[in-house]
Structure 1
Amino acid sequence: MLYTVLKSLHIISDIVWIGGMLINAFVIAMVPPTIRTGVITALRPYDRRVTTAGLAGAWIFGLILAFGYVGFSGGWLHLKLLIVVMLSALHGMQSAWLRRMEADPHLDPPAFVRVAMPIVLVSVVVVVLLAVVKPF
């Protein structure tokens, strides 16, 4: 019973975190400089409170599951953790660039941050496949 509750909380946290990252990616890449400041000013509190809480929940519940139930024996988990570390770093970069773009709306982030949407989507597909199929 506890395992299914923890797994559910992990998945819920993942959805909240990835949803927030996709919103950030959309705003960074698509919102024109003329309205950028207002949109980012509205988005940043959501990112700090909700998306970051989703990130923390994903890590906390994921590590509890890994240490308590799964173990670190599968190579699939190591690859999954590597991807999650990279997604966590990307979220940090998104947050930093949102702060910078709020201060200077004409500032453009590097390409890696601007194309975060496909990076996040492909990463999520790979992570889900690794967690479900456990290929190695």
Structure 2
Amino acid sequence: MVSSDTGGRKAAGRAFAALAIFIGLTALLFWYDPSGFYLWAKAIHVIAVIAWMAGMLYLPRLFVYHADAKIGSETSETFKVMEQRLLRLIINPAMIVTWVFGLWLAWSGFGFSGGWLHAKIALVLAMSGMHGYLSASVRRFSADQNSRPARHWRIMNEVPTVLMIVIVVLVIVKPF
């Protein structure tokens, strides 16, 4: 278990270093070409959304298998490490970057106006609520306190998918 903890700290250190480099490069991009920053911000936002969604789709799938694993088994312990790392090193940073750049784009490009944008922000808030639910579930699984069956997690796996589809349609089609 000590090697797993050490590995987790090393991974967290690498993630922190990558985030610091990312912030530094983003600041340089803005400083170097403020007028062209909008397109870079949009690209960064889309990349972050993809990373966030990948994690949001994968984490409930891990829960499906973890729910059927015997408490205290090697399999259960492996799922705990996978879930915690996925959440802390990918999903959480991706959500933060998504929100930061998304809000900046909404302000800079649209002045926070447009019915489609308001609906999108509401759905991203719902996605963030789902993120919170999954985060709390990681803690419950980690403490061997999950009370939900695998079927529940199969259903929960679909929630981010449905939200993502509606959000993408709002962004591309801008129906109102």
TM-score normalised over the length of structure 2: 0.70
- Partner residue, 1:36: 76
User: Match for 1:10: what amino acid?
Assistant: H
- Partner residue, 2:169: 129
Distance 1:135 1:110, change over 3 A: farther
Q: How does 1:1-136 map to 2 (within 5 A)?
A: 1-31=36-66, 32-34=68-70, 35-104=75-144, 107-109=146-148, 114=153, 115-136=155-176
Superposition deviation, residue 125 in structure 1: 0.7
Superposition deviation, residue 102 in structure 1: 1.8
State the distance in 1 between where 2:161 and 2:46 align. Answer: 16
Verify the 8 A CA contact 1:36 1:102 in the aligned structure 2: no
Size of the aligned set, in residue pairs, is 135
Superposition deviation, residue 68 in structure 1: 1.0
Structure 2: state its 5+ residue gaps. 1-35
User: What is the identity percentage for the equivalent residue pairs of Structure 1 and Structure 2?
Assistant: 34
User: Match for 2:120: what amino acid?
Assistant: K
RMSD (Å) for aligned C-alpha atoms: 2.0
State the distance in 1 between where 2:158 and 2:96 align. Answer: 22
Q: Greater Rg, structure 1 or structure 2?
A: 2
State the distance in 1 between where 2:77 and 2:116 align. Answer: 41
Deviations 1:47-66 (A, max 9, x none): 11211000000000000001
- Partner residue, 2:17: none
Verify the 8 A CA contact 2:41 2:105 in the aligned structure 1: yes
Higher relative contact order (CA 8 A, sep 6+): 1
Superposition deviation, residue 88 in structure 1: 0.6
TM-score normalised over the length of structure 1: 0.89
User: Match for 2:148: what amino acid?
Assistant: P
